[in-house]
Amino acid sequence: MDYDTRFAKRIFPASAKTIDSLAARDDNFRELCADFSIADELRRKWETSSAPERNERHAECLELVETLRNEIEAALESASVIVIKLLPRR
């Protein structure tokens, strides 16, 4: 099951299993991982561009990559939280 999570797993190798698990059941997380990969591809494209707007676009892509990285990190942290429901006292 590959939902274009390779880049996310490269950035968060210790969470590879959690990434696969979340991607298997959460459309939003899959899209987040895909967006993360695309944003990094664009960042690399602008990094080597000779276009006049290179610096501005590269900075925008860096910001987007960092924002998506933080969102994925938050999703992984949330997935690691175990909710324990206490039974009512009798």
Q: Which of 22, 26, 24, 34 is nearest to 1 (CA)?
A: 24
Is the pLDDT at 48 greater than 70, yes or no? Answer: yes
Residue 56 lies inside a defined structural domain of this protein: yes
Query: Of 64, 71, 63, 60, which Cα lies nearest the Cα of 32?
Result: 71
**% of the chain at pLDDT higher than 90:** 81
Q: What confidence category does residue 1 fall into, taking pLDDT thresholds of 50, 70 and 90? A: very low
Q: Is residue 85 part of a domain?
A: no
Q: How many CB atoms lie within 10 A of CB 24?
A: 12
Is the backbone of residue 4 left (phi > 0), alpha (psi -120 to 50) or beta? left
**Model pLDDT, residue 87:** 78
Task: Please count the structural domains in the chain.
Answer: 1
The answer to whether residue 53 is domain-embedded is: yes
Cβ-proximal residues to 79 (8 Å cutoff; 6+ apart), any chain: 18, 21, 22
CA distance 60 to 70: 15
pTM of the model: 0.83
Residue 62: inside a domain: yes
